[in-house]
Structure 1
Amino acid sequence: MTGNRQAAADTDVVHAEAREILGPSTGPVAAASLTHNPKNGVTAGVWAVSAGDRTAVLKVLTRTKNATGRWAASDDPRHWNYWLREADVYDSGLAQSWQPYGIRAPRLLARVQRADGDVALWLEHVRGEPGTGWPRARHIEHARRLGAAQGAASVPHEPWFTRRFLRQYVGSNTLGEELLDDDEAWQQPLVRDHFPAGLRHEMVRLHHDREWFLDVMEALPRVFSHLDQWPANVRSQGPDSVLFDWAFAGDGALGEDLGNYLPDSVFDLFVPAGDLPGYAARAYDAYLHGLRSSGSRVDERLVRLGMCASVVKYDWLTAAMLARAGEVQRDYGGERAVSAELRYRERGLALGFLAGWAAEARALAPQLGFPEAPGGR
C-alpha cells in the first residue's frame, strides 16, 4: 500500500476494510493520496483505494489531528468545523436530497467507526470531469440546478447543522487584519503592481461594514446549503453534478452557495478574472431560473441580495494577501508553486468585482427593509 500519514492511518486496518467493503480480490490493496486541505484538523487524509479492479475513495475524519487556529477540529455540532458533520450528512440522506435536480453526492459505501475513535467514510470513486476543467456552460448549468434544488427543498433542522457559518468562518480568519491600514503593506510590489486602483478603499470599507453584512445574511430566507461549493469540489458523472466535501453543510442564506462558487472559480485560477462579470451574470440568471422552475416565488431582490452580500466571506482575503505577499504562492493543497504575479493580479481583479457586489448590497438592502450600512450606500 502507498500513501501518506502512516499509509492511510494503518495499513492492516485499511486492508481489512477494503476487503470487507470492496469484496475479496486477488490483487493488492493500494492507496494514493488525493488533493485536499492538509491544514484542516477534521481530515486525517483522503485516498483513492483500489483492490484489484475495484476502487473507492477513503476519507478519514478525526478530532485528534494536530491543527491549530481556525482549522482546529471542534466537538460542537453547530461549529463550522465540527469534526463529524460530514458523516452525519451522509447518514441522514441529505447529501442525496438534491439528486432530483441533478446534483448528488458520491454514494456512501460504508461508514466505519475505528478503534482509535476516527471515522472512515468509504465513498464511490467518481471518475467524471472535474469542475476545475469544465467549460463555462457546464458551470452555468450547475448554477441552474443549484437554484432548482434550493428553491424546491424545505429547510431541514438537524442538531449538527452549521449555524451562522459566515460569522464563525470570517471571525476565525484574522491573519493580517492590522495591515489593512498600513501604508507599507499596500506598497509591497505584488500588491502595488497588481491590485487595481481604489481596491484599498473598498476592501477597508468592507471590513468596517462586516457586522452589517453578517446581520443581513443571517436575516435572509434560509436554505439547506453546502457552504463550500467551488469547482474543485464538483465533478460531472453522466448527467449529474457530483458534489464532494459536505463538512460545512447546514443553514445558509438563499444565494449564499452561488456567491461562494463564482469568486472561488477565479481565486484559485480556474476561470480568468476578466470573464467574471459575464460569467457571474449568466450564472445568476440560471440560478434564478432554477428557483422559479421549482416553484419558488421569493422576491428576486432577496436572491440578489443574498448573492451580493455573501461577499463578506472574503473580508479576510485582502488582509491575508497583504500578509503573504512575501511568501511563495502555492496551489490548493500546497503541492506546487503558482505564479505570484498571476495570483495577485487575478485575485485583485476579482476583489474589485466583489466590491461592486458590496455596493449593490448596500443599495439594495434598505429597499427590503434592512437598515442602511454604517457608511451609507
Structure 2
Amino acid sequence: MTLRVPPAVAAVVGPGPYTAVPLTHNQNNRATAGIDRIQGPDGSAVRKRLTPSGSGTARWSTSDDPRHWNHWRREYLAYSTGFAATVYADAGLGAPTLLDVEEDPDGGLTLWLEDVAGRPGPQWSVADLGDLAHRLGTAQAACAAHPPDRPWLSHRWLRHYLAAVPDPGSTAPDWSHPEAVAAWSEPLRADLAALAADPGPLLAVAESAPQTLCHLDLWPMNLIATDDRTVLLDWSFTGTGAIGEDISNLIVDSVADGLLDPSLLPEIAAALPEAYLRGLRAGGWQGSDAAVHRAIAATGAAKYSWLAPAMLRRLDQDVTTRAYDRRSPAETLRRRLGLLALVADWARAALGWPGRHGQWTGPPPPSQQGTPAP
C-alpha cells in the first residue's frame, strides 16, 4: 500500500516515496494508536495517531472529558492552539511544530509533527538535566504566579492516574520472595509495602503544595536538545500540578527504565532540585525551599508507590513484554535498589517520619519521635 502524506508534510519530507518506521511508545495507552517516523527523500516527520478507543489496556482508558487525566484530544489541543510552543518559551523550552492534522475515519486524529533534530534525552549528562531543571523552574515560577487557564488542562492528574493505572494484580505481592529479600533490606521492604498500601497522605501533601502548570510526563524519552532550544515531546497529560512534580518524575524516570546509568541517581537527585530552585528564584518565586523539597518528595513517592509491588509480580513473567528496559525482573530489582530507597526516603521526608535509607538528598525531614512509622 502506497503511503500518503498531506501536502503540508510533503513540503517538508519531499514528494515520495516514503517509508514508515514505528517508534517505541507506551502501547498500553488507548489514546495512542501508533507513532511512526515517516522518511521521505528530503527529510522526515513524525506521525502520531490519537484515538478515543485504541487497543491498549482498560487501565489506560481515555475520556472525552477535557479535564480527565487521559483526555485523548489534549495533545492535539496543546499543539494546535500554540500552547505547548509558548507556555514555557521565555525559558527556552518549546514543543515540536504541528505540520498538519487529519481527521480519521474511526473518529481519531492523525498529528503530523516536526521530527526534531537534536540530542535526545537518553544521551544527556547530569549537567544537561540540571540546565533543563533550571529553565523549567523559571517557567513554572511564572505559571504559578499567573496560572494558564485552558478548559482542557488536566486537574489533579496524579490522584486520578493513581486511581486508574497501577495494576492491583490478582494476588498480593510477595514481599518475602527470595529475589526481593536478596535485593532489598527488610526495613526498605516494610516501607515500600506501607507506601503501596496507602499513598493517600502523600497525595494530600502534593495537593496542598503550591501549584503550577506541569508537563506531567517529563522523562528523557520526551526531551530533545537542539542548538537554540530544548523541545518537550508528548503534551498529552499537561495541566495543574504541584511545584516540583515534574522534577521528581524526571529524577526517577531518568534511571528507572535503564535510560541513564543508575549509578548517576544520587548525583541527579541532588542536582535537579537545587537547579530547579535556582530557576524558581530567577522566575520570581518567593516560597520556601523546604516547600519545594517536600512537594518533590511527596509527588515522587506517590507517583511510584505502585512500582515495587509491580516489580515483584513480574518476577515470574516474560520480560520481553516491556517496551523500554528489557532486563530480567530479578536484575531490575537489583538495579532499582537506589531508586526505591530514594522513593521510600521521599515518603518519609514528605510525611515527617524519622529515619531514612540513605538516599534522601534534601534538607533533613522533621523528626516526629514517638509517632509510628508508616
Pick the TM interval, shorter chain. Answer: 0.7 to 0.9
1:65: which partner in 2?
54
- Tell me the distance in 2 between the aligned counterparts of 1:332 and 1:128: 26
Give the 3-state SS of the residue equivalent to 1:112 in structure 2: strand
Matching residue's letter, 1:164: R
Structure 1, 200-209 or 243-252: larger mean CA deviation: 200-209
1:351 match:
340
1:134 correspondence with 2:124: yes
Q: Does 1:173 align with 2:162?
A: no
Choose which of 300, 313, 326 in structure 1 pairs with 2:316.
326
Query: Does residue 122 of structure 2 align to residue 118 of structure 1?
Result: no
Matched ranges for 1:185-334 at <5 A: 185-310=174-299, 311-330=301-320, 333=323
Distance 1:124 1:25 in 2: 14
Q: Which runs of 5+ in 1 are unaligned?
A: 1-10, 365-371
Aligned mates of 1:26, 1:105 — CA distance in 2? 26
- Runs (4+) of structure 1 exceeding 4 A deviation are 176-180, 374-377
Q: Distance in 1 between matches of 2:338 and 2:321?
A: 18
Shift of 1:362: 1.3
Change in 2 beyond 3 A, CA 1:79/1:178: same
Superposition CA RMSD, Å: 2.6
Query: Cα deviations across residues 68-115 of structure 1 (Å, max 9, x unaligned)?
Result: 321122222121111111001112322122122121111111222233
Q: 2:166 and 2:221 mapped to 1: Cα distance?
A: 25
TM-score, with structure 2 as normaliser = 0.88
2:147 paired with 1:155: yes
State the SS of the aligned residue for 1:187: coil
Alpha-carbon shift at residue 161 of structure 1 (Å)? 1.3
Is the contact between residue 27 and residue 56 of structure 2 (CA under 8 Å) also seen in structure 1?
no
Q: Report the AA paired with residue 161 of structure 1.
A: L
Q: CA 1:129–1:64 in structure 2 vs 1: closer, same or farther (change >3 Å)?
A: same
**Cα distance in 2 for residues equivalent to 1:186 and 1:249:** 35
Q: Which secondary structure does the structure 2 equivalent of 1:132 belong to?
A: helix
Deviation at 1:32, TM superposition (A): 1.0
What is the CA distance between 1:195 and its match in structure 2? Answer: 2.4
State the identity as a percent.
36
Question: Matched residues in 2 for 1:359 and 1:74: separation?
Answer: 34
* Residues 1-40 of structure 1 aligned to structure 2 (within 5 Å): 15-17=4-6, 19-23=7-11, 25-40=14-29
8 Å contact 1:269–1:343 — kept in the other structure? no
What SS does the corresponding residue of 1:319 show, helix, strand or coil?
Answer: helix
Unaligned runs of 5+ in 2: 354-368
Cα distance in 2 between the residues matched to 1:332 and 1:178: 19
Cα gap change, 1:178/1:351 in structure 2, threshold over 3 Å: closer, same or farther?
A: farther
